[in-house]
Amino acid sequence: MTHAFATAALTLAIAAALSIAPGTASANYQTSTGSACIAYGSTTTPGELRYLVNGITPLNATDEYILCDFVTDSENGWYNAANSATLQMFFKAGNVEAAVTCTATAGSAYMSGVLTYSGAHTIPATLGGTLTLSGMTAPGSYSWVPFNVVCKLPAKATLARMTLNELGPV
């Protein structure tokens, strides 16, 4: 009986300690490979893209368009600088410099509207580069806002990975 009592007392002590521990606010990082993106628009088909273990790249020497969807799961809406989102997209250029343009869309025409954020970055030849879109907020301060990004991926460039950082408590 003494062993059972000691086990029960220890279990209760641990539960009590965990219940009074303060909750901490932290950023919520979601990382994805570029190969999670799909062909986008009327000019790009899936057959024009090469899906790699570590990214996505045009198969031919032409610029292609891709769509990358994200699942948002912040418990707080993206409504100000402290509770906003930052997207980082990591690219690698081929043997020539590559100009990347991307437009992120937060929201939906079927809810409280749409906000868009655009950016461009030139990646030096044979090097990597990062396109960052920061300070993104969502219409209506929804915590479950639809979010995606469309990029014009230049020939010989690879989208290796993406990181969506939802700021604020999670």
Q: Could you report the per-residue pLDDT of 3-20, keeping only the tens digit for each?
A: 554 544 444 444 444 344
Q: Which structural domain, as residue segments, surrounds residue 135?
A: 27-166
Judge whether 3 lies within some domain. Answer: no
Place of tokens 């000019």: 43
> What local confidence, expressed as pLDDT, does residue 74 receive?
63
Instruction: Name which residue leads in pLDDT, 87 or 143.
Output: 87
The pLDDT assigned to 40 comes to 96
pTM check: above 0.75: yes
* 112 domain-assigned: yes
pLDDT single digits (tens) 50-88 = 999 889 999 999 999 999 998 877 666 777 777 888 999
Q: Tens digits of per-residue pLDDT, 105-138?
A: 988 877 778 889 999 999 998 899 999 999 898 8
- The stretch 8-34 carries a mean pLDDT of 54
**Comparing 59-63, 99-103, 113-117, 150-154, which segment has the lowest mean pLDDT?**
113-117
Query: What is the CATH number for 150?
Result: 2.60.120.260
**Based on the structure, what is the number of domains in the chain?**
1
Task: Give the pairing type, strands 147-153 and 64-70.
Answer: antiparallel
User: Side chain identity at 23, as an amino acid letter?
Assistant: G
Is residue 16 domain-resident?
A: no
- Mean per-residue pLDDT, 83-101: 91
Angstrom CA distances, 63 to 39, 124, 130, 148, stand at 12, 16, 18, 20
Q: Is 145 a domain residue?
A: yes
- Is residue 152 domain-resident? yes
Q: What's the confidence (pLDDT) of residue 112? A: 75
pLDDT value of position 63: 94
Residue 8 lies in a domain: no
Q: Is residue 121 part of a domain?
A: yes
Domain presence at residue 135: yes
Q: Which residues contact 102 (CB under 8 A, 6 or more apart)?
A: 89, 118, 119, 120, 131, 133, 149, 150, 151, 152
Give the model's pLDDT for residue 144.
72
Q: Which residues contact 44 (CB under 8 A, 6 or more apart)?
A: 64, 65, 66
